[in-house]
Amino acid sequence: MATDRNDQPPSGWCASPNAIRLRSALRLSRRNTLMGVAAGAALGGSAWADAPGTSVTPSAPLMAPDHFMALSRRLTDRPALDARIGAALLDELLKVDAKRPQQLRKLHALMEKTRPKSGSAFAREAEKADPAFRDVIREILAGWYRGVANGRVVVYRSALMFDITKDAIFPKTYAAGGPFYWTSKPPEVAPPTGTPALPPIKLVIEPT
């Protein structure tokens, strides 16, 4: 099975937040070990940096936050998004792959060049320009709509998937109203009429 550099198959984009939390808990011991090793390396590097005659040149930002927000607004077709959520998503997306920072910058440059009229039009144009953009776009959208980026639950209640259905469905563990609210008839919802801009991926249903 094909996996990314985090040993996570593409079907992980469809995994539930609860399943992701469970996987994270199982990896906790190994993560703590790695963090301990990394901390030791960081202390060693810090001592080297403080030594006389050495200097550290700050690197350029991997991706400008305002560029990521502009990219996100275009892909989601929303005029405004929460910058705090965007910063958290960007922080995780930059860790997905060593190529991600450059791909995100190129995707933003393409958007600035083509000035697409909609997120769907931009997704199709981006895939034609570089097929690798398909996964990058899916990761951005999964982050905003599901609240999950790089296998981590970044946000839950404010994920856009709940905003779409907030007039009829509430997130798990959230009550939708007073006692016996579920006995009233739910509002009518018109079926969607749009078509996907990118080819579908296999949906994997996991227990929650």
116 inside domain? yes
- Spatial CA neighbour of 160 closest among 90, 87, 93, 72: 72
Say which amino acid occupies 154: V
111 inside domain? yes
Which residue is listed with tokens 């440059």?
109
- Give 103-106's long-range contacts (Cβ < 8 A, gap of 24+): 103/132, 103/133, 103/136, 104/62, 104/63, 104/67, 104/68, 104/71, 104/136, 105/63, 105/67, 106/130, 106/133
- pLDDT tens for each residue of the chain, 208 residues long: 445 445 555 555 556 665 665 566 555 555 555 555 555 555 444 443 444 443 333 445 688 999 999 999 999 999 999 999 999 999 999 999 899 999 999 999 999 999 999 999 999 999 999 999 999 999 999 999 999 999 999 998 899 998 887 777 777 766 666 677 778 887 787 887 877 777 777 766 666 5
67 inside domain? yes
Counted residue by residue, the chain has a size of 208
For residue 93, what are the domain limits? 62-171
163 inside domain? yes
79 inside domain? yes
40 inside domain? no
Give the tokens for residue 134. 């398909």
Q: How many domains does the chain have?
A: 1
